[in-house]
Amino acid sequence: MARRGKKKGRPVTGWLVLDKPWDFGSTEAVSKIKWLFKADKAGHAGTLDPLASGMLPIALGDATKTVPYVMDGRKIYEFTVAWGEERTTDDLEGTVTAQSDIRPDRAAIEAILPSYTGVIEQVPPAFSAVKIAGERAYDMARDGETVEIPAREVEIHRITLVGCPDADHAVFEVECGKGTYVRALARDFGRELGCYGHVSGLRRTMVAPFSEEDMVPLADLVALEEIEDEAERLARLDAYLVPAGEALSMLPRIDLSEDQAHRIRMGNPVILRGRDAPVATDDACAYVRGALLSIGEVAGGEFRPRRVFKA
């Protein structure tokens, strides 16, 4: 008897900028979106902790080829630090490891923020996805192992103290680069201020190039499950998708003719002519009829494709 092949999803392509709810894992969210859209492929651009809410960009289909560019984008987080306790996970989930009765005032908090701006050295939390000798740090920490993670450089573009609702809490907004751990910021703020601290609330509001206006609440998508007609339901879901090319808005753009597009689809370079042709660059994107066709490099007066999309 012939083996039946695994049923494939549909080849839908685009970005779904999910407003992830609190207490919902990133992997769980991707699986849910993939199932809702009946997509053949899906992936996210940057893990968001289960205890965090907010922007989780999810790529479907060919848009997964643009994930690295969104991963490198700037992020904005709003977070609340609870003073007085340091915890194993640097958030509400962990057990308390140190306590203090000291509470910093607004002036003391603002005085330390300049030292956390720019390129800084940061030690990621023990409970993080950082790999140590091939193992995830959080797996080692859960097994009771002592986790020693070396400091690494991260870039903080700005930190603002939004407010101090009471003596036990401070609310911040931070704009940062790839690899920054907000939980580590809370831990380090508390240590420097001599009062200890952990994150008690965290929300991501931006992952460049997407903005807060692009976000779609999970509840809005789940509500569409009530539509019995599958074609209508999928069409309503697809209306929420952002074109894959939007993830590459920071790259030089090249518009191709149909003849040039045919060469690109065959994996061949095309010669670029004219005053508007981009100069040599490692990353550029090529379009045909307004649709993203390829990501590649510009060198020697040519566009040389690396990744080709269905356009």
pLDDT tens for each residue of the chain, 311 residues long: 445 556 678 999 999 999 999 988 999 999 999 999 999 999 999 888 888 999 999 999 999 999 999 999 999 999 999 999 999 999 999 999 999 999 999 999 999 999 999 999 999 887 666 666 566 766 665 756 667 778 899 999 999 999 999 999 999 999 999 999 999 999 999 999 999 999 999 999 999 999 999 999 999 999 999 999 999 999 999 999 999 999 999 999 999 999 999 999 999 999 998 777 778 899 999 999 999 999 999 998 999 999 999 86
Strand partners for 10: 39
- The reply to whether domains 14-72+210-244 and 75-207 share a CATH topology is yes
Q: Token match 């001599």: residue?
A: 194
Q: Are 193 and 81 in contact (CB under 8 A)?
A: no
Q: Token match 């999309």: residue?
A: 309
Which pLDDT does position 143 carry in this prediction?
58
Q: What is the CATH number of domain 14-72+210-244?
A: 3.30.2350.10
Choice among 19, 23, 40, 49 that is catalytic: 49
d(CA 13, CA 241): 8
Which CATH fold would you assign to the domain 75-207? Pseudouridine synthase (3.30.2350)
Residue 6 is classified by DSSP as P
pTM above 0.75, yes or no: yes
d(CA 304, CA 299): 8
Q: What percent of the chain has pLDDT over 90?
A: 80
Which pLDDT does position 1 carry in this prediction?
46
d(CA 155, CA 177): 5
Which pLDDT does position 6 carry in this prediction?
60
Beta strands in the chain (DSSP E): 14-20, 42-44, 53-60, 75-83, 85-87, 96-99, 118-122, 131-132, 135-136, 152-166, 169-176, 197-207, 216-217, 253-255, 270-271, 281-288, 291-299, 302-308
Helices (H) and strands (E) in the chain, counts: 8, 18
d(CA 16, CA 87): 34
**3-class SS at 284?**
strand
Q: Are 198 and 49 in contact (CB under 8 A)?
A: no
Q: Buried b vs exposed e over 222-240: b needs ≥16 C-beta within 10 Å?
A: eeeeeeeeeeebbeebeeb
Is the domain spanning 251-308 CATH 2.30.130.60? The answer is yes
Which pLDDT does position 195 carry in this prediction?
98
Which pLDDT does position 134 carry in this prediction?
67
Max Cα–Cα distance, the chain, nearest Å:
75
Task: Please give the angle made by the CA atoms of 273, 279 and 282, to the nearest 5 degrees.
Answer: 120
Q: Buried b vs exposed e over 269-301: b needs ≥16 C-beta within 10 Å?
A: bbebeeeeeeeeeeebbbbbeeebbbbbbbeee
| Sequence spans of domains, the chain | 14-72+210-244, 75-207, 251-308
Our CA dihedral for 112, 113, 117, 123, rounded to 10 degrees, sits at 70
Is 49 a catalytic site residue? yes
